[in-house]
Each structure stands twice: as C-alpha cells, then as structure tokens.
Amino acid sequence: MSTFRAPRGTRDLLPAERAAFRRLETIATDLARRYGYHELDTPIFEQAAVFERGVGAVTDVVEKELFRIAPRTEEAESWALRPEPTAGIVRAYIQHGMQTWPQPVKLTMTGPMFRYDRPQAGRYRQFWQFDIEVIGDPGPAVDAEIIELGRAFYREAGLGSVEVLLNSIGDGACRPAYIESLRAWYQPHAEELPQLERDRLERNPLRLLDSKDPAMAELNAGAPRITDALCGPCRDHFSAVREHLHALGIGYRLEPAVVRGLDYYTRTAFEFYLPGRDGQQQALGGGGRYDGLVELLGGRPTPGIGFGLGLDRIVLALNAAGAGDAVREPGPVAVVIGADPGATAIRLRVATDLRAAGIAARADLGQRRLARQLESAAREHAHFVVIIGDELADGNVQLKDLDAGSQQLVALDDLARKLLQGDRSHRHGKGGA
C-alpha cells in the first residue's frame, strides 16, 4: 500500500522547507505592503482561453506546458491550471471593473503555478511565485520602481548579489519589422538549426535569441539587436527606465537575449539571476511590461507591468549557499509537563490558558515519566517548561528556563505574564525569565 508518491515534478513541502517558504512569503507580503500593493487571489485554474489568448498560443508555456483539465461532463468550457499569474490577474481587473478604481491599480499575489514541463533540478510542475502587477501606469518611472522592488526582495531574502538583466523588446510599432530582420538573419542557416530552433524560426523567431542550445551561440551573437531597432517612443522609454535605475543606484546588465517567453510583453523586459548563473535556465525571477494585454483580454487599452519571482529557486539558492539553516521552524515557547504522568487534564488546561493569552505553548499529553517529558521539550527547542507538581495545591508551578538553566516558583495566575516577559527577553537575546 505504500506505493503512492507525489506526482512527478511536484513535491511535498515538509515543515522545514515550508518554514523557508513562509519566511519568503512574509518578506513578500511585508514589502508589497510597504510599496503600496494590495493582495488578491485568483483561482488556480481559468478558462484555457485566458492563457491561450493572454500568454499566446505559440509559446512554450501554452503549446507544451499548459496543464489542461479534461472536463468530465458536458461542460463546454476547457480549463487549465494557471502557468503564470498575470493573465488571470488581468482577467480579474477587467471582470471587476478595476479601470474605474484610482489608477494605477497595484496588486500582489503569492501562490502555486503549474507547468507541464520536463522536471529537472529547479524546474517543477508545481512551483510558487511572488507576483507584483501595476496596471494603468505607462512608466517609465514605475518600471524602475518594480525592478528595485525585486532587488529589495532578494536582498531581504538573503541573496544580495542577484543581478538584473535588462532589455527592451519594443512594441507593436517596431517589433514586427525587427522580427522580419531576425528571420532574414536566421533563414540562410535554417538547414543547420537544431529542430526546436527551426520550428521557432517559423513561428516565433524572437525565441531563437534565448535559445540555450550551445550550437546557437555564435549565430545569436551576430543577430540584429532589438535595441538598435526600437522606434522613437520605445527608445525614449527605454533610456528613461535606465535613467531612473541609475538614480536609484540599481546596477543592471543589458542583455538582448532577455526576450521573455510570453507573447504579451512589450518594451521593458528583465530577469534576475545569481552572478554567473545566467544562460542556464536558472532565472530566479523575471517580468516586464505588457501594454497590450488588457486590450487583448477584452478591456480598454491599459498599460501594465509586473514580475513573477520563483520562490522554489530562492530556497534552493539559499540552501546551496548554506544559508538554509537560518530558517528554523519555531519551537513552542513553553511546554507544560507534570510530575504525575496521568494528570493530563490539568496540563491541557494550563497550556490552553497560555495559548489563549497568546503564548505558543504545548502540553505533554503522553503518559511518560517527568524526565522523559523534560527531554522531549528540550529536543523541541522550547525556551521554558512549566512543571506541574505538588506546589499546585498552593496555586503555584515551577517555571524552568531551559536556556538559562534557572528555575523559579511562579503563581499560576502570574504564569502568562512571566512567560510573555521571558519570551520577549529571549527574542532580544538576553535569556532568562
């Protein structure tokens, strides 16, 4: 019977790893609040058309990786698990008439995404993203603000060395001509291209630029650059984004290969990498401007920009840097144990009162000897044990500080206050109740 496993490409986040995710979620929520973003949640599945239209039918994400849900009934709809958050958020923006809210609308969401990809290190079929969207601001200042927010997130997470790779991929005015010049560049070499790249040449030549196939390196190095082909307004926008980044003291590297995999991007495109890890399909996060998306999904033309930062890869990077241990699941502050193994009711009662007072407390509900109860409290890294013994007849208990090794008699009525005080000084590193 023990043959069931988590589906391929997914994994259980066991408590230690979940604590690492929780820490990142807390940093994300706190940063988003400080920067004025409002949290929302969209369903983890949508009509498949939201992604087909929004992300683009000729993208890897839709063509190869979309997790489609086969309808069991006569339902006409075809559903898909969300491969990325932006299309669903923009769908919600339109559905709920957010165009009438004060603009721009700044939204944030953190949750699981799904891609039916070939699983490998750092690439899962279910993974988590911290997502930020600003809808209704044409930039360029907000483009820089978002990139700075991404950097701040990595810094607070413990990855201060993360680099910004920046590009502009133009818009509807200049990109079509550029794509034709790309086609013209690759066409004479079509026969030599790897199969995947030959397909892309036909259908989405921009994607050739971010090919990870080493056979493409030389050809790509000589390819025309979009930044040389931008129209006037896109060129002005791009240089203003760079000026704003400069004013914020954010370094970046111009990288023509950052074209992003999704159709909806326009102008600013960026990705975050650890130094030396770019070109290895190990982007920690990425984002860009999507000025055409709201209209594409049926709303009024409205500009937008956002990013999605992959939490799984951050946890992997922190673990690889040996910083993963910094995240420890918090143990209980206090464990209530007793000299009489059978007297579980009073231990439960005391722990319940402590919890009602806001203290993380656990009662030892086993029927073990006192010494064993004490051992297991220490193993859990509890700061205090409350020992219930004969003193209870006078309304007192023993309070033992496991870190300081000290012990004192405390009135049961005063226990919560003492523990709150002791917990505060523990958290400030002084120890002692």
Q: Which of 82, 91, 115, 242 binds ligand AMP (CB under 6 A)?
A: 115
Looking up tokens 């978002």 gives 146
Nearest Cα neighbor of 360 from 352, 349, 371 is: 352
Question: Which CB, 130 or 186, lies closer to ligand AMP?
Answer: 130
* CB nearer ligand AMP, residue 278 or residue 401: 278
Question: Which of 67, 124, 153, 186 contacts ligand AMP by CB under 6 A?
Answer: 124
What is the footprint of ligand AMP within residues 26-85 (CB under 6 A)? Answer: 84
Q: Which is nearer to ligand AMP, 123 or 225 (CB)?
A: 123
Task: Give the Å distances, CA to CA, from 287 to 19, 41, 128, 192, 361.
Answer: 26, 19, 15, 32, 43
Asked if 313 interacts with ligand AMP (CB under 6 A), we say yes
CB-CB contact of 323 with 24 (8 Å) = no
Residue 109 as a binder of ligand AMP (CB under 6 A): the answer is no
Residue nearest to ligand AMP (CB): 310
Cβ closest to ligand AMP, residue 129 vs residue 396? 129
Q: How many chain residues interact with ligand AMP (CB under 6 A)?
A: 17
Residue 165 in contact with ligand AMP, rule: CB under 6 A: no
- Please choose, out of 119-127, 288-296, 374-382, 424-432, the segment that lies near ligand AMP by the rule CB under 6 A: 119-127
**Least distance in angstroms from the C-beta of 285 to ligand AMP:** 5
Q: Could you tell me which of 89, 158, 160, 114 has the C-alpha nearest to residue 304? A: 89
Cα three-residue angle 294-299-305, rounded to 5 degrees: 20
Q: How far is the CB of 86 from ligand AMP (least distance, A)?
A: 8
Whose Cβ is closer to ligand AMP: residue 208's or residue 336's?
Answer: 208
Q: In what order do the strands lie in the sheet with 68-69?
A: 45-47, 79-81, 68-69
Instruction: For the beta carbon of residue 220, count every other beta carbon within 10 angstroms.
Output: 18
Residue 270 has which token pair? 């960026």
Length in residues, the chain: 433
Binding flag, residue 207, ligand AMP (CB under 6 A): no
Strand order in the sheet with 105-114: 38-39, 105-114, 126-135, 304-310, 285-289, 266-273, 163-168, 253-254
For ligand AMP, which stretch binds (CB under 6 A), given 37-45, 170-178, 279-287, 366-374? 279-287
Does the protein bind ligand AMP through residue 167 (CB under 6 A)?
A: no
